[in-house]
Chain A
Amino acid sequence: MRVLEGRLTMITIVDVRDAISRIQHQVQQTADDLCARDGQLGDGDLGITLEKAFNRLAEIGPTLPEDLGKAFAAAAAAVSKVSSSSFGTLLATGLLAAAKRSIGKTELHSTAVPDLLRAACQKMSERGSASLGDKTVLDAIDAAARALDSHPKDSVSAVITAVDETLSLFRDRQCKIGRARIFSDRSIGLDDPGMVAFRVMVGALKSS
């Protein structure tokens, strides 16, 4: 991705639209796999949830306002409208947290991204009653924020590496929250589907 690849720069609505369209494309390729992974531990709708969310975001992309706060808020509303499943609600929650931090800004410095991720992570944690270490998407987001702190340049690659490491780190642990908790023994050896979904999203941002 132009903005995050290789240099410090400013993020505008153009970059957000670009990110949405890249992620939408990638999510379409991986939706079945995400559903299958989710089906081993949950209700098996994660891929569909993400596909619905990003298809809708791609539809409204051209109409998103330049004010990034308003754009993130509109994105949160759109996601919540097409998917009231738990991951859809969490994604909307994260976007809304980012919206609050960005209201009135048409540009964000790329170094502000870790703060947005942490704000999103915090709010998602409250809303989903999950903590870091529970083997959820929060652990992947937190790892991404830390990677951005230490690698402000070449950031997408650093984030991908960090998320991959987090997936490995948690693979043999038990899920501690959500429906997967009921099958916590079965979750050992399996990647958390929410983390995999986040990996798909950040993977889509890497320039091919």
Chain B
Amino acid sequence: MKKLLNDPAAYADETLAGLCCAHPEFYRLSPESPRVVVRPDSPVQGRVGIVTGGGSGHLPVFTGYVGRGLLNACAIGDVFASPSADEMAIAMRAANGGAGVLRLYGNYGGDIMNFEMAGEMVELEDITSSTVKVADDVASASTAERAKRRGVAGMVYAFKIAGAAAEKGFDLDKVTRVAQKAADNARSIGVALSPCIVPKAGKPTFTLQENEMEIGMGIHGEPGVRRSELKPANVVADEMLDAILSDGAVKGGDRVSVLVNSLGATPLEELYILFARVADRLDKLGAQIVMPLVGRYATSMEMTGASLTVLILDPELEELLRAPAECAFWKVG
């Protein structure tokens, strides 16, 4: 293992401490837990609070998206591990401005169990909450079983849209509805070229031969749908886009946002090579790309590879996507 760290057991804590130290205008640690990051102006009275939570190792997901027009608070676990229900409850309290709290997170067993429990804990304190689970990875389950899909980079769009809705003063039902619509309209798929190493484990989570790639691999190294020899970028882009389009068709005249995301080690250059192909294909379909995102938005530490997300927009989602927002990793407007 070759990583810049002090102690594998302190990896998550030291990351969060550094993040808050670097960007105090966006992030502060909760006085109640070093694993809960809160927006400095949260809670905003009368506004719905948006919280998320999940394991470390995916920056800017999850904590990075705490910010104005985005999330209010976030609970963080160890690398690839769920935070505790108690930490999630602390995040929910920090986000509660009296108008309810939306729990918006990826569809993973441990996170679900703990977030449900956190919801029950704060319910005893009269904090109302709702849930939207992002399940956008088309490779992880069939269309018929889409509720079982994992949540990957599509959650970035859900954070943005929910955050904008809360900022506009929508009530909890309406914030929940638009967040669910964003989650439903986002479809993603990844491709991995090389693995990452969980610090405490000290060895790669899987192995891929030098000439191999795996389409559909999850952001924790969950098995994908197909392993093959590494193909040219355009072929890879086509395979990924085809998987997304066969799940949710994009028609002429549709407006979509596209995220070409690095899983960690893949450079921007290669992301733009992929983007050019995806844009060309969507253009031929007659679809209009709105606010494209290319970069490191949802990672798996040093994994090499990329993911593609397509978000199908309607006027309501587009307005919320374009609304001003700011965190250390993303600024809109």
Given contacts A80-B117, A89-B114, 16 further A-B contacts (CB under 8 A): A76-B85, A76-B121, A77-B85, A77-B86, A77-B89, A77-B121, A78-B86, A81-B84, A84-B81, A84-B84, A92-B85, A92-B117, A93-B117, A96-B121, A100-B124, A127-B113
Q: Per a CB cutoff under 8 Å, which of A81, A100, A127 touches B116?
A: A127
Binary contact track B96-131/A, C-beta < 8 Å → 1, others 0: 000000000000001001101100110010000000
Contact indicator A96/B114 (Cβ below 8 Å): no
Dominant SS among interface residues on chain B: helix
Interface string of A72-101 (1 = CB under 8 A from B): 010011101100100001001100100110
Q: Which of B255-314 contact A (CB under 8 A)?
A: none
B82 located at the interface, meaning its Cβ lies under 8 Å from any Cβ of chain A in the complex: yes
CB of B87 within 8 Å of the partner chain: yes
What is the bound-complex CA distance between A145 and B117, given in angstroms?
A: 23
- Give how many A-B residue pairs fall within 8 Å (CB-CB): 45
Interface of chain B residues 63 through 96 with chain A (CB within 8 A)? 77, 81-87, 89
Enumerate chain B interface residues (CB-CB to A < 8 A).
Answer: 77, 81-87, 89, 110, 113-114, 116-117, 120-121, 124
- Asked if residues B86 and A89 are in contact (CB atoms below 8 Å), the reply is no
A92 to B117, CA, bound (A): 8
Contact B124 A80 (CB under 8 A): no
10 intermolecular pairs with C-beta atoms under 8 Å apart: A70-B124, A76-B121, A77-B86, A80-B114, A80-B117, A81-B84, A84-B81, A96-B117, A127-B113, A127-B116
Alpha-carbon gap, A153 to B84, bound state (A) = 38
Taking the nearest CB of chain A, how far is it from the CB of B125, in angstroms? 9
Contact A89 B85 (CB under 8 A): yes
Q: Does A81 lie within 8 Å of B124, measured CB to CB?
A: no
Q: How far is the CB of B147 from chain A (nearest CB, A)?
A: 15
Task: Judge if A69 is at the interface, Cβ distance under 8 Å.
Answer: yes
Tell me if B86 and A81 are in contact (CB < 8 A). Answer: yes
- Give Cα A74–Cα B124 distance, bound, in whole angstroms: 11
CA distance A73 to B127 in the complex (A): 14
Asked whether A96 and B87 contact (CB < 8 A) given A84-B81, A84-B114, A89-B113, the answer is no
Contacts of A69 in B (CB 8 A): 124
Q: How far is the CA of A80 from the CA of B114 in the complex (A)?
A: 8
Q: Are A81 and B87 in contact (CB under 8 A)?
A: yes
A103 within 8 A of B: yes
Residue among B77, B86, B116 with the highest chain A CB neighbour number at 10 A: B86
What sequence of 0s and 1s flags, for each residue 95-133 of chain A, a beta carbon within 8 Å of any chain B beta carbon?
010011001000000000000000000000001000000
Shortest Cβ distance from B200 into chain A, in angstroms?
14
Q: Is B86's CB under 8 angstroms from A103's CB?
A: no
Q: Is A84 touching B117 in the complex (CB atoms < 8 A)?
A: no
The reply to whether B120 and A96 contact each other, CB–CB distance below 8 Å, is: yes
Give the chain A neighbours of B84 by CB distance below 8 A: 80-81, 84
Nearest A residue to B81 via CB reads A84
* B77 nearest CB neighbor, chain A only: A84
A78 CA to B85 CA in the complex, in Å? Answer: 10
Chain B residues positioned under 8 Å from A93 (CB to CB): 117
- Residues in A neighbouring B77, C-beta threshold 8 A: 84
Contacts of B89 in A (CB 8 A): 77
Contacts of A78 in B (CB 8 A): 86
What CA separation (Å) do A100 and B87 show in the bound complex?
Answer: 20
User: Could you tell me the distance in whole angstroms from the C-beta of B272 to the nearest C-beta in chain A?
Assistant: 40
A82 vs chain B, min Cβ distance (A): 8
Known A-B contacts A89-B85, A92-B117; the reply to A84 vs B110 at CB < 8 A is yes
Q: Are A100 and B120 closer than 8 Å at their CB atoms? A: yes
Task: Tell me the bound Cα distance from A193 to B326 in angstroms.
Answer: 49
The contact of A127 among B82, B117, B124, by CB within 8 Å, is B117
